Amino acid sequence: MEKKWFVVYTKSRCEKKVAALLAKRNVENYCPLNRIVKQWADRKKLIYEPLFTSYVFIHACENEIFSIKQITSDIVNFVYWIGKPATIKDDEIDNIKKFLNQYMDIQLEKQDVQISDRVRIISGPLMNIEGNVKVITNNKVKLSLPSLGFMMVAEVKISNVEVIQHPTTVLNMAHS
């Protein structure tokens, strides 16, 4: 079987411990660490904090998941997406590594979906189709999906779309 990057959810503040235990058992893993300079009254110190709280990435085959989960009680569970263990693309892990090598004190920001955003559907029957957000209600968005000269409108869960471009990004690029 092919190895993929999976995500495990850990107990609070156990990311480094889980990563060390997995490494000790020869399970390839990655716990992205953010370099942060902390200021105390008498000194400054460079510390390493997990970038993603309560998450560690595991590079393994899907049939190894159960045995990996048994390594330590500090692993709460694997993260699931649509009933299957969530996977992360190799290039996304590589991009995280490169970014952390180049920058310090990184802040994560959740990217919200907004009306007029250009989005791509990442899951479900319309997967990989792009469209524009027209309406947002509860946890669903209505997208216009131009195809064959018709305007189709689909109601899709927010969790099943990724933002390709915010309208403000287009405006900023036009003024550059």
Residue 73, pLDDT > 60, answer yes
Contact (Cβ atoms closer than 8 angstroms) between residue 43 and residue 80: no
Contact (Cβ atoms closer than 8 angstroms) between residue 158 and residue 138: no
pLDDT in tens, 150-161: 445 566 777 777
118-175: CATH topology is SH3 type barrels. (2.30.30)
- CATH code: domain 4-102 is 3.30.70.940
pLDDT in tens, 125-136: 677 777 777 777
Please, is 17 exposed, middle or buried when counting C-beta atoms within 10 Å of its C-beta (0-12, 13-18, 19+)?
middle
Q: Round to whole Å and give the CA distance between 119 and 143.
A: 8
The residue ranking higher by pLDDT, 112 or 105, is 105
- Report which residue type is found at 132: N
The verdict on pTM exceeding 0.85 is no
The domain segmentation of the chain, as residue ranges, is 4-102, 118-175
CA dihedral 76, 77, 79, 80 (to 10 degrees): -140
